[in-house]
Amino acid sequence: MRYPKEHKEQTRQRIVETASRNFRVRGIDGEGVASIMQGAGLTNGAFFNHFASKEELAQAAMTHAMDERAAYLGVQLEGKRGVEGYIRAYLSARHRDSPEAGCPVASLAPEAARHSGEVRDAFTNGFVGLVDGLSHAWPSLPRKAARARAIALYGLMAGCLGVARATDDEKLSGEVLSAGIRAALELVSG
C-alpha cells in the first residue's frame, strides 16, 4: 500500500521531533536509532526510508531544536518581561529539569563539537540565529556591541545551565542558577 507524500513527510517530522527531544536528554551518541524509532511509534526498518544515516538525522534534529528555541526566544523577547524574562526562564529549575524541551545550546554544544560538519553547521547556523535574535533586544547599541553582548549572554546562560544540570547537589544547582541570573542581568544592564 502506497502512502501519500504528506504521510511520509509527517512520519519524517515525527522521527525528527522524537530525536530532537531524546538527543537533548541523552546526547546524540547516547541515543540509538531503535529507541528513537520506538519513541516515534515506528519500526527500526522504517528509519532508512527517511534518513541515510543517524548523522543525517542528527543534523535534522539539531536544526529542529534550534528552530524551536529561536521561536521561543522571539516570543519571550516580545513579551512584557523581555530579556530579563528570558534570562529568568532560561536559568530556572523548570528549564534545568526539562532538557528534552530546552535549549539545545546548553545540552548539545559538546555533542556538536564531536560530530560531522553537517551537524556542526546545523548547530552553528542555529546559534547564529539565536544570537541575531537576542541582539535585537538592544537596538540602541551598535550592531557589533549588541552581537557581542548576545554571544556573551548565551555563553554565560548555557554554561550555568549545563553546570546546574551536571551537579548532583540540589542546593548547589540552585546556587549556580541564581548566580547565573545575577551575572546575566548585570551583563545586560551594563
* pLDDT tens track for 12-26: 999 999 999 999 999
Q: Is residue 136 part of a domain?
A: yes
114 occurs within a structural domain: yes
| Residue 15 lies inside a defined structural domain of this protein | no
* Helix (H) or strand (E) run with residue 167 in it: none
pLDDT, tens digit (0-9, with 9 covering 90-100), for 83-136 = 999 999 999 999 999 999 999 999 999 989 998 899 999 999 999 999 999 999
Tell me which of 4 and 51 has the higher pLDDT.
51
In a domain, 31, yes or no: no
Q: How far apart are CA 155 and CA 160, in angstroms?
A: 8
Structural domain count of the chain: 1
**52 DSSP assignment:** S
Residue 181's pLDDT is what? Answer: 98
The DSSP element (H or E) to which 7 belongs, if any, is helix 5-26
Query: Looking at the domain assignment, is residue 34 inside a domain?
Result: no
48 occurs within a structural domain: no
- Give me the chain's average pLDDT, please: 93
Cβ pair 181, 81 in contact under 8 A? no
Model confidence pTM above 0.85: yes
Read off the CATH number of the domain in which 63 is found: 1.10.357.10
Set of cell numbers at residue 44 = 527500526
Look up the domain containing 158 and give its range.
55-189
Can you give the pLDDT at residue 20?
A: 97
Helices (H), 27-142: 33-39, 54-78, 82-90, 93-96, 104-113, 117-135
Q: Is the pLDDT of residue 61 over 60?
A: yes
Per residue in 137-180, pLDDT (tens digit) is 999 999 999 999 999 999 999 999 999 999 999 999 999 999 99
Structure confidence at residue 124 (pLDDT)? 97
In a domain, 65, yes or no: yes
Inside any domain, residue 43: no
- pLDDT band, residue 2 (cuts 50/70/90): low
Residue 186, pLDDT score: 96
What sign results for the dihedral spanned by CA atoms 165, 167, 173, 177? negative
- Enumerate residues 6+ apart whose C-beta is below 8 A from 161: 90, 91, 95, 96, 102, 103, 106, 177, 180
119-133 pLDDT tens trace: 999 999 999 999 999
